[in-house]
Amino acid sequence: MIAAEKKEIEEQFAGKKKAWEAATTERRGIAEENSRGSAGLYDTDRQKASGTALAQVRDGQCKALRIAGTAAYGATFGIGH
């Protein structure tokens, strides 16, 4: 009986792990697309401003891109350096 329960749990875990891996892969693809889009918007604004694009940041959110930002995010796009 214990062996059958163990097998059932392992099968459930394998299914959940596979679903988690698929969702993670999908999430990464979406994040890459969003990053490229945000970088493109930043570059367009930067070109319009003849140099550095500036946007108001309030409560940790960039008001131009409407995304939450961190120092790491800014470093990715050369913002703040």
Residue 66 belongs to some domain of the structure? yes
Residue 72 belongs to some domain of the structure? yes
Q: How many domains does the chain have?
A: 1
Sheet of strand 57-58, all strands in order from the earlier edge strand to the far edge: 57-58, 61-62, 67-68
Report yes or no: 67 and 61 within 8 Å, Cβ to Cβ.
Answer: yes
Residue 65 belongs to some domain of the structure? yes
Residue 11 belongs to some domain of the structure? yes
Beta strand 61-62 pairing with 67-68? antiparallel
Each residue of 27-62: pLDDT tens digit?
888 777 776 666 677 677 767 766 666 667 777 777
Per the structure, the complete domain to which residue 26 belongs is given by 2-76
Q: Quick one: the chain helix, strand, coil %, rounded to 5?
A: 65, 5, 25
Residue 81 belongs to some domain of the structure? no
Residue 53 belongs to some domain of the structure? yes
Phi and psi at 68, nearest 5°, equal -75, 140
Q: Which of 9-23, 45-59, 65-79 has the lowest mean pLDDT?
A: 65-79
